[in-house]
Amino acid sequence: MAVLTNLVLLLLHVAVASLALAEDPPSPSTLQETCAHTLFPKLCVDHLSLMPESHSADAHHIAELAIRAAASTASSTSTYIDNTLEAAVNDSTWQQCLNDCAESYIDAVEQLDDSTGAMESNKYPDVKRFVAAAVADVETCEEGCKHALFPEKTKVAEMNEVVKNLCAVVQALVDRLHN
């Protein structure tokens, strides 16, 4: 009986020691802590928490995921603008605005795609430059539609704001990595 008790105690000790040596699960606060250093922490957490890998990511990977979120949102905005353009009535101001936005968003998505490659190579100044160019493209869209009146104008303006704010999140995260 003593041998069985010792064996059980030994197995219990090994099990407890194994648990103690096992890696702790990633802290759910890492994403929140990293996003807290941006101008838009809630937006950062809301978009990145949809990506399962964000919950175990380090600061560099969180910045990569933020670029992906910005690019995805820009791509969705581009699709929305294209679909709106297809449904446009014969209003030259409206069509011109949407055409300009469509072109601007093609450029913005390309810039964000380029920033992904730069981020993977730790070329932080290039990331910042590409993201700034994407923001400029979105601002070009906004400027071109400033005087146009069309039913989807508010929706396009809201989508532009989200893309710009996600780009600001990327810039803040990259600043922390680069400095």
Hey, which bits of the chain come out as E strands? Answer: none
**pLDDT score of 91:** 67
pTM of the model: 0.82
Q: Which CATH number applies to 28-178?
A: 1.20.140.40
Region 131-140: mean pLDDT is 98
Distance of CA 176 to the CA centre of its chain: 16
Closest CA to 135 of 101, 111, 100: 111
Note the pLDDT tens digit of each residue in 73-129. 999 999 999 998 887 767 677 888 899 999 999 999 999 999 999 999 999 999 999
How far, in Å, CA of 37 to CA of 39, rounded? 7
- Within 10 angstroms of residue 58's Cβ, the number of other Cβ atoms is 12
Backbone φ and ψ for 84, nearest 5 degrees, come out as: -65, -40
Note the pLDDT tens digit of each residue in 1-55. 443 333 333 333 333 333 333 333 334 468 999 999 999 999 999 999 999 999 8
Q: CA–CA distance from 47 to each of 29, 77, 138 (Å)?
A: 15, 15, 19
Instruction: Locate the domains of the chain by residue range.
Output: 28-178
